[in-house]
Amino acid sequence: MAPHAEERVGSATEGGVAATPPKDLFVVDSPNVKYTDDAITTKYTYRTTAVTKDASGKYVAAPKETLYDFKVDRKIPKLGVMLVGLGGNNGTTVTAGIIANRRGLVWDTKEGKRAANYYGSVIMGSTTKLGIDSETSEDINIPFHDLMPMVHPNDLVIGGWDISSMNLADAMDRAKVLEPSLKALVRKEMATITPLPSIYYPDFIAANQEERADNLIPGNKASMAHVEQIRKDIKDFKAANNLDKVIVQWTANTERFSDVTEGVHDTAENLLKAIEAGHEEVSPSTVFAVACILDKVPFINGSPQNTFVPGAIKLAEQHGAFIGGDDFKSGQTKMKSALVEFLINAGIKLTSIASYNHLGNNDGMNLSSQKQFRSKEISKSNVVDDMVAANTVLYAKDEHPDHTVVIKYMPAVGDNKRALDEYYAEIFLGGHQTISIFNVCEDSLLASPLIIDLVLVAEMMTRIQWKVHGAESADDKYAGFHSVLSVLSYMLKAPLTPPGTPVINALAKQRAAITNIFRACVGLEPESDMTLEHKLF
């Protein structure tokens, strides 16, 4: 459990200590791995297969090896998280959850006592295979969090912005997510946290949100003054809490899609000019992203709108700033990406997917507006495309299953979202299979661990550098990953990838990407389930 810090200013949770070296759970015994107090350096052979076609049209597969050098900064920073939408369901839930875990709280419910945990977080709640016990031949699994020298969520310092001025204790009551007995235990700390004023452009979110909007930075359209105020807020938060780094994450309302226009959104220069001119098609989330990019503060978009217009991505590339998005993948879509991957990999031809949701929280109320719903519909509808395209045995070119998504606002069910899905598939000799799923998802309790995962992985990526081994030229020195953090895809419905690279939605591949990149950083081979050591007698 993290030690409590002194009382802090800046409307932030307590937490964290100064940057410290980690206590390793394991070491890698290899001539390719070196440890110092400051870094882990490794030589890693990346193996892939390059495919070409010969003159006859036959595929030629050639194994390919590339030797890379990785360098990982081992010193764990004191990390701050600033949430846009701090007073919403997700913001209050994740803040209360971190306080509860930090204090090791136990509370009464009608089903008995419950203790704070990080269930639902792949980083904090799952394990990964380290290797095989040399004596018993059994798998050795370790907590995922211990694979790399990562920040612990108990040490996070939380602050942020909201269009509502309500303190987090009252906002927690408004959200109606947590048990009363738990709320009573965290109320005092939550009451001390008040969101910073945020920006509010009424055309981008539903009109039914207007009554919340009493905590605003002046101005109702994009401006450089808004960009500069956000930058100042981040710098002040960092200084007030003596932080090494800050990560910003959008967990506010879903916006409508921006109408992306040539000359406005297409280049970094045009986007900055459009903000300066107060262009009406620059969204609040894009303004937040630009402010973060200019100061190289990682920015993650947890809603489905098109925050990262082409100019924003190019601006991030220019500044070497990390961005990631879009839209938290928590309940129905995570089930869909897992089930569709299973069916198509099993050779079963999925022909239609019908997804219906109803929910009663503020997200549902905002999505009752058609323009905001359209943003969500797009993010939920594209999650099967790469899996379909990969199976040319089942699907002809440009063939897709029918796929429809419906979302309805039903206040009575609150944060307990109902998700109903029907999967209709063609099987052997013209037969059919129908799978129906009814999923009750406590929405914010599923999304909050994803917020934590996105922060922990994004921060870890800021401490990883790599290069081609043996490179000596100035262009081939150690460098970070591309500005677009596609490694965050496991937690996001509509993963953002670097321009010109494929989008991966298959859940198992997304998790494997995080696992195997981290393994490479500490000098381990990718996970393998071949178990050849058990097959030769």
Distance CA 110, CA 108 (A): 7
* Paired tokens of 435: 């799978």
Q: Are 303 and 455 in contact (CB under 8 A)?
A: no
Give dist(CA 313, CA 266) in Å, integer: 9
Here the tokens at position 409 are: 């606002």
Q: Token match 């998802």: residue?
A: 441
Catalytic residues: 327, 376, 417, 493
**φ, ψ (nearest 5 deg) of residue 96:** -60, -40
Phi-psi region of 296 (alpha: psi -120 to 50; beta: other; left: phi over 0): left
3 state SS of 441? strand
Burial of 530 (0-12, 13-18, 19+ CB in 10 A): exposed
Residue 421's H or E segment, with its range, is: strand 416-426
Residue 419 vs residues 7, 123, 356, 381, 402: alpha-carbon distances, Å: 42, 25, 6, 14, 18
**Distance between start and end Cα atoms, the chain:** 48
CA–CA distance, 313 with 128 (Å, rounded to integer): 32
The angle, 0 to 180 degrees and rounded to 10, between the axes of the packed helices 284-294 and 224-240 is 60
Instruction: Give the up-direction half-sphere exposure of residue 129: CA atoms within 13 A in the CB hemisphere.
Output: 15
